[in-house]
Structures are given as structure tokens and as C-alpha cells.
Structure 1
């Protein structure tokens, strides 16, 4: 099971290869109210598109709970906008893993409206 630090380190580094290596081939990723991304290629493409809209992302982990195959991580995420301004938002990420420890389902609960507000 990928630990929260490993997951968020990959996200913060915008390391798409490591991020997608954490997912099962038929993994599912949902960010906020966006449509689900299903499969490695869709997850890779969706995350690459998102990273093109911000300069950077930095997670501060507040609490992590793991029960069986499910991890729940409460974080404060600082997004560096393309104009250089920073916006920090509370976020919850939940992921499930299969028997091999690969993520089968990952959902991010966040309102990104303030990141893109003028």
C-alpha cells in the first residue's frame, strides 16, 4: 500500500511516472466534481493537463487514517498559480488498493474555485 508521503511527494514533484506507477491498470481517479479518469493513460493525461494550469502544488499532511485497503488523508494543499500567487485549501484524499498494493480508486475532495479565481 502506498504511504501518503510517497503519494503526495510524487504529486508535489509533478512526477507523472511515479504517480501512474502507483495505480492499477484499471485504476480510477476523480478530482473534485470532474469526470472519473479510468485507466493509466486517462489518469496520466488528466494529471498532465491539470499540472499545466498551475506552477506548483505542495501538500501538508494533517492526518492519515488507513483501515484495511483504504487510506484517508486530510491535507492542506498550497497551489501556486500561473501568476505566482499561492492559494492554500483544505483537501481530503481517499484511495483504495488491491492485493498488490496498487491504487484502484482515488478521489480528491477539494474545491479548486479559489485557485482559478481572478
Structure 2
């Protein structure tokens, strides 16, 4: 996966379009977001993203660095979340995903501590 492809993944996430994001995934893909239970398949991932997106006003990723090791991509990012109260919170995150030979993502994992996002301002 090239740097352009890594940027493409985060552009789709930042657009708040779960149905577009799942098009990047294999039908049986697994997604784990922070400390939530794993979501498996397009329907579960889209529903999970919709539920999370309902708790925030927006987000944007800044890619700090990314690496590729075989089929795995590791992206170190700074994610700025817009709270529903209009305030912004920036948090460090690492996302790791595995891409199959057909280009679809089979496993997508986001490592982040969301506690500051929901803490009282």
C-alpha cells in the first residue's frame, strides 16, 4: 500500500461515510476500534461507525508516519475530534491493517485512548 493509499483510507474515514469505508474492506473483515468489541463484516462495521460518529461532530487525521511490512500497514496519526459541544481534542493513535492480495482490508485495528474526548472540558 502506497502513501497515497494510506491517505485515501483516512480521507474516507474523515468524511464520516461508513458505507464508503466498508467498500475498502473484505466482506468478512474484522475491525477493532479502541477497547470496543470486534466488529465483523460490512454491516457490523458500518453500524459501529455510525454509532461512534453520532457521539462526535467531526474528525480529521494527520498522518505522522506510516510503514508497510508485507501485507500490513501501520499508521501513526494525530486525530483531531470535534466534540458535540464544538470543542476540539487531538489524540495520538496507531492504526494497523492487513490487506489481502485483491487490495481489500481483512483486518483493521485502531489503538487510541478516547477518554480525553469524552472528559468534561
Same-fold status (TM-score > 0.5): yes
Deviation at 1:68, TM superposition (A): 1.2
Give the Cα–Cα distance (whole angstroms) in 2 for the partners of residues 31 and 69 of structure 1: 20
Give the Cα–Cα distance (whole angstroms) in 2 for the partners of residues 94 and 76 of structure 1: 14
2:49 to 38, 47, 67: 47
Deviation at 1:67, TM superposition (A): 1.4
Instruction: Give the alignment's TM-score, normalised by structure 2.
Output: 0.94
Give the Cα–Cα distance (whole angstroms) in 2 for the partners of residues 50 and 87 of structure 1: 15
- Output one character per residue of 1:34-63: Cα deviation in whole Å (capped at 9) or x when no partner: 100001000000001110000000100000
Question: Would you say 1:114 and 2:116 are equivalent positions?
Answer: yes
- Output one character per residue of 1:48-86: Cα deviation in whole Å (capped at 9) or x when no partner: 111000000010000010111100000000000000010
Question: Would you say 1:33 and 2:35 are equivalent positions?
Answer: yes
Deviating beyond 2 angstroms after TM superposition, the runs of 4 or more aligned structure 1 residues are none
Gaps of 5+ in 1: none
Residues paired across the two proteins, number? 118
Give the Cα–Cα distance (whole angstroms) in 2 for the partners of residues 9 and 66 of structure 1: 19
SS in 2 for 1:54: coil
Gaps of 5+ in 2: none
Give the Cα–Cα distance (whole angstroms) in 1 for the partners of residues 40 and 73 of structure 2: 19
Instruction: Give the alignment's TM-score, normalised by structure 1.
Output: 0.97
